[in-house]
Amino acid sequence: MSLLLTQYHELNGLKYQDVWDFQALLHNSIKYHKLDKATSYPKAKAKILNHLVFCEHYPVITMGKSTKINHLVSSEADLDKSNIELFKINRGGDITYHGPGQITGYLIFDVELLYRDVHRFVREIEACIIRLLAKYDIIARRLEGYTGVWVEDRHEFRKICAIGIHLSRWVSMHGFALNVNTLLDHFNHIVPCGIDEPNKAVTSMANELQSELIFSEVQAQLKKVVGEVFGLKFI
């Protein structure tokens, strides 16, 4: 299988709306090439430019398609006082938080160049995170019935990475949120991913290792892992 031609972007210090607009621009660009009647897509598909975006957001809560209103614990006024934005978006999944110390990864791929299997795509995103965490001696796993990546300790489960995607004409957007040095108190404003169970919580790499990590180094390692798992050729 040929490698996916991919452009890598790091976005920091931008409002969520700005990142959303950038992501939508890239997403629509790929769809345009697929729909262009003047282009023979089977011949041109090897030239499609895919995108991997890593972003460290300002504090923001995003509500996916499955979000129930009671999963937002704090009022919008309280969020404003805490300088946390609130957005309703088109990805799958429930409510989640993005903020400093977290790698939010947006995979804007023509997934059809890989396969036509949404579940496999999500499983391979999970595989990227599990492989990355292993490099830091954090043993993580999938949890049956739940999307994302978890750390288990004596039947207690801590979610370290949330995943939510959206596909249109097999072009993906959104992706994952990996807690590296994330301030976990901010998750108290929500029922994270809509999971309200006594043996399930959220965690971060720093929380598991009891030490902050060098954020840029984790980003570099994760970029490499995503490239390996999905067969990306960065330009």
Catalytic positions are 193
- What are the b/e assignments for 180-198, b being 16+ CB within 10 Å? bbbebebbebbbbbbbeee
Length of the chain: 235
Q: Which of 9, 11, 31 lies closest to 166, judged by CA?
A: 31
Q: In this structure, which amino acid lies at residue 232?
A: L
User: Radius of gyration of the chain from Cα atoms?
Assistant: 18
Q: Which of 111, 217, 86, 119 lies closest to 169, judged by CA?
A: 111
Beta strands per DSSP E along the chain: 4-12, 50-56, 60-63, 85-88, 95-98, 102-108, 141-143, 146-153, 156-168, 171-179, 200-202, 232-234
Q: In this structure, which amino acid lies at residue 151?
A: V
